[in-house]
Structure 1
């Protein structure tokens, strides 16, 4: 159990003062119905980067706060962080998917946690156009066939696993998703 939103942010330990400030500003005077806090560290070839995603359900909205480490200014050796809040009304959520990945499904028993859990929410905040050169299928054809593509919605995604994040985090996302499903009237 993640406790209160403030406790979960403090426990995550990733710029708690910044995260709490941004969340208070975004939430305003609304009540928090449910929350999920996920801090994550990634390793690139040259550096370690931290990220945090906070999902919050209020009576009217779903908020997603994402915080990233920044590279800082090249001419100054200062560190930066970037915090972005996305907000959508619950009625604007088009769909949601909750993917349960189970290692060794033959051993799975009712009540067991999935090995991994992925939450995707289609909430019409962002979309992108993916284009690629069109072709006619003839490898020797040099004609310009224009472009083909699609408009793709950028769903909010959160992925957790028992191995990387622990059982409590997976359980917390299961609980959060159940509240979200009820709030938007969806049962994937």
Structure 2
């Protein structure tokens, strides 16, 4: 694995800044947070995703920035909270995590296609879900269980699913645009390549071809040569002592 660069090139940082500016969520703060988390590494691929949801009468936004380098995945989260009803006092909560690529356990891609019976190979998916797992964390989705009787009021416990994931991003072509979905797919492929041991942007190195080995002839030839030489020397010394 190559050592991280200590001075990121200007083009790489410009591409990262452009993605952060496009999201439009405190872009200067988000960029500074991500650049600090890089610790001088050069960003190779990035995915900046903005989510907006409504909590009663309050609008909440949350941005997730994923930045891939040659040896780590940088994950940054930034969201804001209003501390008063007028919205005059706002606080931003920031968290970053640096994940070595060799610790990433799985990269899961989920797609949603419309009209699959008409699929010809050129259609793009309507939605993409990217799930990344590295720390063994799991998500539980639980729903009340039922027996199938609509009149039954007994407690049947809970049914649910457990899935391994540390982060999940959902990108929609309708909400985020086709370019954003294409970028998310490209980032997922780059992450999958990097986490399986190949360098990002390069094809995997070919496996070395083992040379043919023939140990037996060489091993047997040496004793015979030494034996013949010893016999010749013994005969020579024996003849010399006889003449004396």
8 Å CA contact 2:64–2:78 kept in 1: the answer is yes
Partner of 1:14: 25
Partner of 1:47: 58
Structure number with higher helix proportion: 2
- In structure 2, the residue corresponding to 1:32 is in which secondary structure? coil
8 Å CA contact 1:113–1:170 kept in 2: the answer is no
TM-score normalised to the size of structure 1? 0.78
Partner of 1:79: 90
Partner of 1:108: 119
Partner of 1:143: none
Residue from 85, 95, 99 that aligns with 1:88: 99
1:7-50 Cα shifts (integer Å, max 9, x gaps): 11112111011101101110021111110111121123211111
Residue from 26, 29, 32 that aligns with 2:37: 26
Indicate whether 1:155 and 2:166 are aligned.
yes
CA distance in 2, matches of 1:65, 1:81: 13
1:176 Cα deviation from its structure 2 partner: 0.4
Change over 3 Å in CA distance of 1:15–1:112 after alignment to 2: same
Change over 3 Å in CA distance of 1:91–1:109 after alignment to 2: same
1:87-122 Cα shifts (integer Å, max 9, x gaps): 210000011110111122112231322111001011
Root mean square deviation, CA, Å: 2.6
Q: How many residues align?
A: 165
1:56 Cα deviation from its structure 2 partner: 0.6
Residue from 137, 160, 164 that aligns with 1:127: 137
1:131-181 Cα shifts (integer Å, max 9, x gaps): x9xxxxxxxxxxxxxxxxxx9744211101111111011000011011111
TM-score normalised to the size of structure 2? 0.61
Structure 2: 5+ residue runs without aligned partners? Answer: 1-13, 143-161, 198-244
Partner of 2:8: none
Of structures 1 and 2, the one with the larger relative CO (CA 8 A, separation 6+) is: 1
The structure that has the greater radius of gyration is 2
CA distance in 2, matches of 1:176, 1:127: 22
